[in-house]
Amino acid sequence: MRYVLILFLFTDLFSARTYLSEDGWEILAKVKFTEKFHKEENEYYLYPFFDSKIRAYEGKDFTLKGHYLPMDLDNSSTIILSKFPYSMCFFCGGASPASVAEVYFKTKPPKFKADQIITIKGILKLNDRDIEHMNFILKDAELIK
């Protein structure tokens, strides 16, 4: 009986460690996209479908490690983070829309260099309607050193 209990505790700890170490980009990559026509823009766009598994992360702390993409954005506390470097990113290299995130820092962040790898933690917001913003948004974000 003792061995069964020890085995159960070991298995439980191992599965918790696996869950906690899951990469944020791997989680986002599970989102499915469908091409739909957008009447106002008269173009087709990829729209995400957020199932209950990804929705479980919404409103919670979420961490992403990625490449800073230099973009001309209105707000100096906002950046775009990419799983891939600029040459391979969603905008230039044809990667999935699940490989970029819009990040809103709590306070103005330091200046980053193009393709600088940074780790950011923020509250995940999912966007499946507004084509003016990314599908994945981190609010109240902080730079992790």
For 51-76, write each residue's pLDDT tens digit: 999 999 999 999 999 999 988 777 78
- Asked whether 91 and 102 are in contact (CB, 8 A), the reply is no
- Asked whether residue 48 is domain-assigned, the answer is yes
- Asked whether residue 95 is domain-assigned, the answer is yes
- Asked whether residue 1 is domain-assigned, the answer is no
- Asked whether residue 10 is domain-assigned, the answer is no
- Asked whether residue 14 is domain-assigned, the answer is no
- E-state strands within the chain: 32-38, 43-49, 61-69, 78-82, 100-105, 117-126, 136-144
- Asked whether residue 18 is domain-assigned, the answer is no
Considering 41-45, 95-99, 124-128, the range whose residues carry the highest mean pLDDT is 124-128
Range of the domain at 44: 24-144
Q: What is the CATH number of the domain that holds 107?
A: 2.40.50.140
- Asked whether residue 7 is domain-assigned, the answer is no
Residue 10 has pLDDT above 60, yes or no: no
- How many domains in the chain? 1
- Asked whether residue 132 is domain-assigned, the answer is yes
* The model's pTM: 0.80
- Asked whether 99 and 84 are in contact (CB, 8 A), the reply is yes
The pLDDT-based confidence of 41 (bands split at 50, 70, 90) is: confident
